[in-house]
Structures are given as structure tokens and as C-alpha cells.
Amino acid sequence: MDIITRISEAYPHMSKGRKKIADYVTDHAQQAVFMTAAKLGATTGNSESTVVRFAIFLGYEGYPEFQHALELLVQDKMDSVGRTFEHFDGSDEEGLLQEVLTSDADRIRNTITRMDPAAFASAVDIILQAKHLYIVGIRSCEPLASFLHFYLNMVRGDNILVGTTSTSEMFEQMIRIGAEDAVIGISFPRYSMRTLKCMEFANDRNAKVIAITDSVHSPMNLYSSCNLFAQSDSISIVDSLVAPLSVINALIVAICLRCPDEVRKDLKTLENTWNNYQVYLNDEINFIGEEPVLTAKKS
């Protein structure tokens, strides 16, 4: 296991001091790799011996082996850029386009075969029954969380997109979560410790937890009662999120089909509101014959 996977799996069993070290290493690996045990301890408010014990707790023989694992992590990030250029070296843009799109199509097909229909149905039930629904996704997963939040707002109320400025502020936004609520955590390698913490907090408050992640080995499964797996690995430095987005699309459609009357009513109300308040008056394209015509009014 790489060092991030070890940290993620061991995180629920860490003391507060060890969690501070884990958080710093996860978020600042490129800085931590050059630190001595004493320096890392001082930076995280711990002693040198606590840092050494932290390394041993993760399964390393000592701090030097732990530091070497950090070096491999940082080097792997740097090498991913080189691997991208090597993989596509000599490819013209047409061939590159075909290969990337074909790879994404393969990921969707693999996701179909791995998806558990019972887990998918359970996720729909949890979303529909939740009093308040919290959605968490950061870094490259933030657009997925925003997309899900945007469309869920059209079909149900009380959806909260948890902001990602800091872990403490994320907890502040979730402070009222309880047993009648649910959280959806979206995370793919390299996994987000902040997302994992939010899911742990929701689980501790007896809320339902849904994970949208890549596999049974994901640490996101530690606190979730419902797991939706989508393939996200990529041949380039860019994470492929096509399959996860398809799973989210399917969730939204399934929710709409479960309560069609309510959805039609809400969307009709929304459309009337747009018309009454001229929301799209200056941003519409209509067709006259086969020619598009911009219908923005002059002020």
C-alpha cells in the first residue's frame, strides 16, 4: 500500500495528535518530505517521538522508511506528467482524441458491470428519505458535487453543498446533521482526507452515509452504509470523471422517476418563476427556420 492508503485506512484509529500529522502529510506531502521527524513534529504540534511512533503505527520500521515512502509519493506525482507525455508521444490530435474517448467509454462499461443494483436502489431511498442532504466533494470531485447539488435542488429541497475552504468550516456547515439526515461523500484517488472526516462526523451523528468512490478498497467505505463504485483511473495527469458523472446522472433520473408528480410540479413552478421574473430574458437563443437568433433585449 502507498502511504496515503495506509494513512486513510488507519485514520479512524488515530489519536488527535496522530491525526494532525496525518492531515499535514496528506495535504502538504511536498513540504513534509524534506522535514526531519523533529521538524514535522514541531510543525504539527507534536514531539519528535510522537512522529516516530506515528511512522511505526503505519507499519514502517521507523521514520527513515516513512520518509522514503513520502519520497515515492511525491516522485509518483511528478512522474505522472512524464508518463502522460510518454504515453501520447507521437500521437496526432485525432488519434489522441479517439484514444481518450475510447478509454472513457471503457470505464463506463466497466462501471456498469461493477455496479450493485441493490446499493444503487438503497442510495435512491436514502436520498429521498433524508430530511437534509449534505453533499461533499473537493478538489477534482468538486464539480461532481456541484452538479449533483444543482439538479437535486430541482427535485427535492434541503440540499446542502458543503464548502471546502477548511475542515473546520466544513464541520461548521454540518453541525446540525442528525439521524434523519444523510451525506453523500464523493472521492477518488488520491482520496480526500477532508471528505473522509466529514463522512466520519456524519456517521458519528447517526446520519446515513453514501460513498461515491472507485472500489471496495477505498477508505471512503469506512463510514458509509451504501457504496456506489465507478472507475476513475486515467492514462493521463487528468482524472477521468466520466463514469462517476454517469452514475450521478443515473441517480438523478432514478429519483425523478420515483416521484414524477412532485418533480413535474416543482419544475413547472420553477419555469413559471423564470418567466415571471424574466430570468433568461437576456440569455436566450431561439430558432427562426433553421437559423439560431439571439433574442436578448436592448436596455
Q: What is the pLDDT of residues 203-243, one digit of tens each?
A: 999 999 999 998 887 888 888 989 999 988 655 556 778 89
Single out the residue of 176, 178, 198 nearest to residue 187, CA to CA: 198
Query: For the chain, how many residues are written?
Result: 299
Local confidence pLDDT in tens for the 299 residues of the chain: 788 888 878 888 889 899 999 988 887 888 888 899 999 999 999 999 999 999 999 999 999 999 999 888 877 665 555 555 555 555 666 667 887 788 788 888 888 888 899 999 999 999 999 999 999 998 888 999 999 999 898 888 899 999 876 677 888 899 999 999 999 999 988 788 888 889 999 999 999 999 999 888 788 888 898 999 998 865 555 677 889 999 999 999 999 888 888 778 777 777 777 676 665 555 555 555 565 554 544 44
Task: Give 109-151 pLDDT, tens digit per residue.
Answer: 888 888 899 999 999 999 999 999 999 998 888 999 999 999 8
The confidence score (pLDDT) of residue 298 equals 47
Distance CA 87, CA 95 (A): 12
Q: Which strands, in side-by-side order, build the sheet including 133-136?
A: 159-161, 133-136, 182-186, 208-213, 226-229
* Alpha helices by DSSP H, 88-209: 93-114, 117-129, 142-155, 167-173, 193-204
For the beta carbon of residue 203, count every other beta carbon within 10 angstroms. Answer: 17
- In the three-class reduction of DSSP (H, G, I as helix; E, B as strand; rest coil), residue 15 is classed as coil
CATH topology of domain 94-261: Rossmann fold (3.40.50)
For 144, other C-beta atoms within 10 Å of its C-beta total 22
End-to-end C-alpha distance for the chain, whole angstroms = 62
Please compute, for residue 223, the number of CA atoms within 13 A of its CA located in the half-sphere on the CB side: 28
| Per-domain residue ranges of the chain | 3-87, 94-261
Q: Closest by alpha carbon to 200, among 181, 216, 183?
A: 183
Going by C-beta distance under 8 Å and a sequence separation of 6 or more, which residues neighbour residue 149? 135, 159, 161
Fold match, 3-87 / 94-261: no
| CATH number assigned to the domain with residue range 3-87, chosen from the 4 options 1.10.10.10, 3.40.630.30, 3.30.70.270, 3.50.50.60 | 1.10.10.10
Exposed, middle or buried by CB within 10 Å (0-12, 13-18, 19+), for 179? Answer: exposed
Mean pLDDT, rounded, of the chain: 83
Place of cell 436566450: 284
